[in-house]
Structure 1
Amino acid sequence: MAFLPTTREEMLQQGYEQVDFVYVSGDAYVDHPSFGCAIITRVLQAYGYSCAILAQPDWHNDDEFTQFGEPRLGFLVSAGNIDSMVNHYSVNKRRRDKDYYSDEGVMGKRPDRPTIVYTQILKRLYPHKPVMIGGIEASLRRLSHYDYWDDKVRRSILMDSQADLLMYGMGENTIVEVADALASGLEAKDICYIRGTVWKTKSIEYVSDYIMLPSYEEVCKDKRTYAKSFHIQHENIDAIAAKVLVEPYDGWYVVQNQPPLPLTQEEMDFTYSLPYERTYHPKYKYIPAIEEVQFSIVSNRGCFGSCAFCAITHHQGRVISTRSKESIVEEAKRITEMPNFKGYIHDVGGPTANFSREACDKQREFGACKSRECLFPKPCNNLIVDHSRYLDILRAVRELPRVKKVFIRSGIRYDYLMYDKNDEFFDELVQHHISGQLKVAPEHISAEVLDKMGKPRKELYLKFVEKFKQKNEQFHKDQYIVPYLMSSHPGCDLNGAIELACYLKKIHHTPKQVQDFYPTPGTPATCMYYTGLDPKTMKPVYVARTHEEKAMQRALMQFTYPQNYDLVYKALKTAGRMDLVGNGPKCLIPYQKPGHFPSRRDQGKRYGQKPYAKKGNERKGMKKR
């Protein structure tokens, strides 16, 4: 099966005078099931709809947007696999040097906020043709949201882009229903009944059983109102338990229908059985993003971990969708037949690799609970901890001919693993599925910070570390844990950052990379960052806002680096923790900056003593420590 057409010439060569849909993407075209563009277009193709792909068009040139002519049913627009602003800017709002979703990693192939830019161009060129937006950027901005880069509350992206319809979440079923509706003759403005869609209207007289959110104007004026509105949205992300949400704008209403139902196992198997080329279009030289996923397999979707800083639950929901063992093994076989396969399956997993079933038996029928989490602050009494199905899949894949090793790189929830009374999976994880280092995400050590993150307390992590060490000794392995840690998360002040630094000193570990908290739409932590309130309790939350404090928190995690000395010193002094400056076993930094030899007068000042005063051959003022 060939790639879908990316130019008019390719479209004509494949026998199409007109396609049903033109898919406009902010990413380069990669026909791999880890890319949303590939999944949506292949699903449409499987249901008999033709698609052309306009990847990274020059938004200054209208001819690029008209090259395919007018599609029969409409345009589909996505910013790409990740939010364009995250893709373009670091947490310090510095322009990144590389775009992993563009040819050879070249930056600048797409505008900021391409969902808005592309849609507005299409609405100008084809005012009577429906334009529908989707993907992660649209999904997380479907209602009013705090925008970190503008530092303000922005409107629903449906309003800003002037699109006819927004599709959110995982959209295979949604896109087929929308395509069928358009093919039947319905206008886009009349498609107001499909799950996983957001639409706008002047009147809500025909909308029933909904929750009226505060208006956009109200959430802009008052942060407390914003936090209350966000909490309502976050409580209504489950496909079964959620209600329709309505957000008023000046003269308009934005209506969010219920989320799409989680895919059944048969539907998941169908999606991943489609004839993907599993690589980028031959017109490109190299797309860096393919490197991690080309030999990886998606085994599940959704996450009931509900970390406060993660948007997965807002996009995919909390109920897990899984594939059958047969489907995964069949995909693994196809991977082993690829000419550049070296024997290593890089990953079998999803948002959380070891979530291979719903959290409890009630979720498929009743949905996820609104008022409680599955794992936090303690595991729910109804939680079922079972790795047997996932383990069965891993065994089957690693037994395939030509497979040397099957790694798990997409995140293990160590708490869920520790709750399993059967050590069988833990044993085989250590023996077969780690490439020297196991990356896990305790994220922090401070109890106050972990509570705001929605993560388990440090005591469970420390037990996991000890058990991991014992398992490695048992199986004669030399493997290590690499902890993912985060600085400046809401709830973390300098004392929390210092507590983490002291832990890192104790375990003799300096992170090579430090992740600052990045406020992105759709997460409770971003709501805390903007409002200073926990949306669940409406109680105040400490937020590190200044560049200097964020830099100090980050430097404390890498206190061993000489270039961080001054920041660490200032952080300790500010927090009143000068007991951690010196040469004692618990001290983080010495009195003297490494590589720097201050004058004795300056040294005396740093020690907090009087400077030297000479009188003849005597020196006074220096007290013996």
Structure 2
Amino acid sequence: MFLPCTREEMKRLGWARLDVILVTGDAYIDSPFIGVAVIGKLLARQGFRVGIIAQPDIGSAADITRLGEPLLFWGITGGSIDSMVANRTASGKRRRSDDYTPGGENTRRPDRAVIAYANLIRQHFKKTVPLVLGGIEASLRRVSHYDYWDNRVRRSILFDAKADYLLYGMAERSVVELARTLAAGEPPTFIRGLCHIAPTAPEQALLLPAHQTVAQDKQAFTAMFRTFYDHNDPLTARPLAQQQDSRFLVHNPPPLPLSTEELDAVHALDFERELHPLDRQRGQVRALDTIRFALTTHRGCYGECNFCAIAVHQGRTIQQRSATSIVREAETLAAHPSFKGMIADVGGPTANMYGFECAKKLARGACRDKRCLFPAICPSLRIDHGPLIALLQRLRGVRGIKKIAVASGVRYDLILADHKKGLDYLRELVRHHVSGQMKIAPEHSEAEVLAAMGKPGTESLLQFRRLFNRLTEEEGLRQFLTYYLIAAHPGCTQAAMERLRAFCQRELHLVPRQVQLFTPTPCTWSTLMYWTETDPFSKSPCFVEKNDVGRERQKAALATSHPCSPKESTSPPANRSTARRKR
């Protein structure tokens, strides 16, 4: 069942008034990949009456007032993608299309959607119930942060939106606790994963440098970010506080990871896997083609690539579903009237992190002095692709499924490091789960750039390439690797891009076309490097190409027309998007 989006739907349910209204920058797709659908369904399962307003017109009262005023709170999200990333290219140009908008035209999502929607609610409901921010846009802007589009450090979005609370991360447990607490008439300021505003800093909180200080002092900003990042593990984090104006942002520790049983329950919710009829009148939504028949196996990522915000949003601990839950969902997909036999993806932020975690991390929290995979894979991480192999084999046995693709990226260094099951896993992928192309993300070839990215060197890439080609040949298949690369990342010069092109021609025998410009999004180490022009780990100066012409020139080193190998030319370009994993 869809959650109501109109008064008529409320009337059919016998609801005169809603407890919670969720406002989103996406069309309403009822899917486990869409955060507003998950949050709404979870609250509804707990007995709360929930409605959704998708992509309201900020120029009128018609959309935002059509469901009335909620009894408990307004929930506001920019959608599955940060609105500034959704609306603007890395060069600042307005995007023409939006995969989460009916009809595909980028006309419905405002810039800084979270702030725009909060202002819209305040405009038409003067003294209303609390405004609660959530989703990726709010989550990554919860403390003072560098904003690429304004080229300055902005304060917490909780203050700029004039909202009451902010729930960061995936927030399933937090939002239910918030609703119950507000329904009981009690203050929710104790809830994990919640940020709120206070006149003073709590005694137990660790003080971050004040916003006014970090906005003017890049060294102070670096120190602030390091402390913030160090306190993102739920087992070791302390409460944080940061003065924003005369008041303080209070940042509670993250929620504890969901258990397998809890994550299974999330995916057992009754999703339509369709676009709501109200949105369907305006056209189709391209994102639905990608997510309708896809399976999530886990969330979180311990890869901690410096340019990626998943570690700050979903966490560094893998939270996984049971194989039984995943197979049961696959059976549900196979029974869907629109299913044609193809599962578009089985994975998560990284496909092959399912089935194993570091026992030390699970017991004592993530290490602050080292990472799981960089500069080398930690020996404490017992890599085992066995459970994933068994899962894929079970899924292939589900009646009605003809093909299962693993479209999520894989960490090839993990495959190579698994001396017992790594080769078997890759053979399984090559034989059954590659649809013409397998995508991997080396990102670059130059050691100094890879170090700034937190990515492994080219030795593992070349070893993996040889192994993939050998297995593909043994299977008698025509399949290729697709390589994703980044231009203009901190530490990358034009000369480094030219060397990258030469490496691709010499070693990969092609020049990949999947090249994107680095976009400094909030709350990543790479964005910190971009703003400060300093490597926060070595504290040495870091070259950053900030000139638009120079950035485009770096991309053009690979993206311009050039001769390519027959293998590259016969393969259609792949679509790179991890946003649906972030919610």
Corresponding residue number in structure 1 for 2:579: none
Corresponding residue number in structure 2 for 1:589: none
Corresponding residue number in structure 1 for 2:575: none
Secondary structure of the structure 2 residue equivalent to 1:132? strand
Secondary structure of the structure 2 residue equivalent to 1:149? coil
In 1: Cα distance, 2:334 partner to 2:416 partner = 33
* Alignment-mate amino acid for residue 38 of structure 2: I
Range with bigger deviation, 449-458 or 107-116: 107-116
Secondary structure of the structure 2 residue equivalent to 1:30? coil
In 2: Cα distance, 1:23 partner to 1:558 partner = 41
Secondary structure of the structure 1 residue equivalent to 2:143? coil
2:314 is equivalent to residue 338 of structure 1? no
Q: How far apart are 1:426 and its partner, in Å?
A: 1.5
In 1: Cα distance, 2:268 partner to 2:17 partner = 27
Corresponding residue number in structure 1 for 2:571: none
- Would the aligned equivalents of 1:98 and 1:105 in 2 still touch at CA under 8 Å? yes
In 2: Cα distance, 1:375 partner to 1:510 partner = 27
Corresponding residue number in structure 1 for 2:259: 264
Return the TM-score normalized by structure 2.
0.93
Corresponding residue number in structure 2 for 1:403: 401
Aligned residue among 364, 380, 383 for 2:381: 383
* Alignment-mate amino acid for residue 251 of structure 2: Q
List aligned pairs for 1:234-383, cutoff 5 A.
Answer: 234-283=229-278, 284=280, 285-383=283-381
Higher relative contact order (CA 8 A, sep 6+): 2
In 2: Cα distance, 1:33 partner to 1:310 partner = 22
Corresponding residue number in structure 2 for 1:605: none
In 2: Cα distance, 1:542 partner to 1:236 partner = 28
In 1: Cα distance, 2:129 partner to 2:42 partner = 22
- Would the aligned equivalents of 1:100 and 1:287 in 2 still touch at CA under 8 Å? yes
CA deviations over 1:423-480 (Å, ceiling 9, x no partner):
2211111111101111000000000000010000111111111111111122222211
In 2: Cα distance, 1:448 partner to 1:33 partner = 39
Range with bigger deviation, 550-559 or 346-355: 550-559
In 1: Cα distance, 2:337 partner to 2:357 partner = 39
- Find the structure with the greater CA-based Rg: 1
Corresponding residue number in structure 1 for 2:510: 509
Secondary structure of the structure 1 residue equivalent to 2:109? coil
CA deviations over 1:157-209 (Å, ceiling 9, x no partner):
000001100000011100010011011112xxx321111111110022x441x
* Alignment-mate amino acid for residue 362 of structure 1: K
- Would the aligned equivalents of 2:375 and 2:456 in 1 still touch at CA under 8 Å? yes
Corresponding residue number in structure 2 for 1:200: 197
Superposed CA RMSD: 1.3
* Alignment-mate amino acid for residue 556 of structure 2: A
CA deviations over 1:82-101 (Å, ceiling 9, x no partner):
10000000001000010111
- Would the aligned equivalents of 1:227 and 1:533 in 2 still touch at CA under 8 Å? no
2:545 is equivalent to residue 547 of structure 1? no
Q: How far apart are 1:559 and its partner, in Å?
A: 5.2
- Would the aligned equivalents of 1:224 and 1:533 in 2 still touch at CA under 8 Å? no
Return the TM-score normalized by structure 1.
0.87
* Alignment-mate amino acid for residue 171 of structure 1: A
Corresponding residue number in structure 2 for 1:81: 80
CA deviations over 1:503-529 (Å, ceiling 9, x no partner):
122233132342011110111001100
Secondary structure of the structure 1 residue equivalent to 2:286? coil
User: Are the structure 2 counterparts of residues 462 and 131 from structure 1 closer, same or farther at C-alpha, using a change threshold of 3 Å?
Assistant: same
List aligned pairs for 1:61-72, cutoff 5 A.
Answer: 61-72=60-71
- Would the aligned equivalents of 2:442 and 2:485 in 1 still touch at CA under 8 Å? yes
Q: How far apart are 1:358 and its partner, in Å?
A: 4.6
- Would the aligned equivalents of 2:156 and 2:244 in 1 still touch at CA under 8 Å? no
- Would the aligned equivalents of 2:146 and 2:154 in 1 still touch at CA under 8 Å? yes
Corresponding residue number in structure 2 for 1:580: none
Secondary structure of the structure 2 residue equivalent to 1:440? strand
User: Are the structure 2 counterparts of residues 558 and 504 from structure 1 closer, same or farther at C-alpha, using a change threshold of 3 Å?
Assistant: farther
Corresponding residue number in structure 2 for 1:14: 13
In 2: Cα distance, 1:407 partner to 1:145 partner = 37
Secondary structure of the structure 2 residue equivalent to 1:199? strand
- Would the aligned equivalents of 2:330 and 2:395 in 1 still touch at CA under 8 Å? yes
List aligned pairs for 1:225-236, cutoff 5 A.
Answer: 225-236=220-231
2:154 is equivalent to residue 154 of structure 1? yes
- Would the aligned equivalents of 2:356 and 2:383 in 1 still touch at CA under 8 Å? no
In 2: Cα distance, 1:373 partner to 1:94 partner = 36
List aligned pairs for 1:462-481, cutoff 5 A.
Answer: 462-481=462-481
2:154 is equivalent to residue 176 of structure 1? no
Give the length in aligned residue pairs.
Answer: 556
- Would the aligned equivalents of 1:28 and 1:102 in 2 still touch at CA under 8 Å? yes
Secondary structure of the structure 1 residue equivalent to 2:352? coil
User: Are the structure 2 counterparts of residues 289 and 207 from structure 1 closer, same or farther at C-alpha, using a change threshold of 3 Å?
Assistant: farther
- Would the aligned equivalents of 1:304 and 1:359 in 2 still touch at CA under 8 Å? no
Q: How far apart are 1:14 and its partner, in Å?
A: 1.6
In 2: Cα distance, 1:12 partner to 1:207 partner = 48
Corresponding residue number in structure 2 for 1:432: 432
Secondary structure of the structure 1 residue equivalent to 2:220? helix
List aligned pairs for 1:519-598, cutoff 5 A.
Answer: 519-558=520-559, 560-561=561-562
- Would the aligned equivalents of 1:40 and 1:175 in 2 still touch at CA under 8 Å? yes
CA deviations over 1:59-99 (Å, ceiling 9, x no partner):
11124222222211111111100100000000010000101
- Would the aligned equivalents of 1:407 and 1:434 in 2 still touch at CA under 8 Å? yes
In 2: Cα distance, 1:395 partner to 1:293 partner = 21
- Would the aligned equivalents of 1:18 and 1:69 in 2 still touch at CA under 8 Å? yes
Secondary structure of the structure 2 residue equivalent to 1:254? strand
Aligned residue among 188, 200, 204 for 1:191: 188
Secondary structure of the structure 2 residue equivalent to 1:224? helix
Q: How far apart are 1:278 and its partner, in Å?
A: 0.8
Q: What percentage of residue pairs aligned between the two structures are identical?
A: 41
* Alignment-mate amino acid for residue 280 of structure 1: L
- Would the aligned equivalents of 2:299 and 2:319 in 1 still touch at CA under 8 Å? yes
Secondary structure of the structure 2 residue equivalent to 1:75? strand
- Would the aligned equivalents of 1:181 and 1:191 in 2 still touch at CA under 8 Å? yes
- Would the aligned equivalents of 1:486 and 1:517 in 2 still touch at CA under 8 Å? yes
Unaligned runs of 5+ in 2: 564-583
Corresponding residue number in structure 2 for 1:604: none
In 2: Cα distance, 1:12 partner to 1:3 partner = 14
Corresponding residue number in structure 1 for 2:101: 102
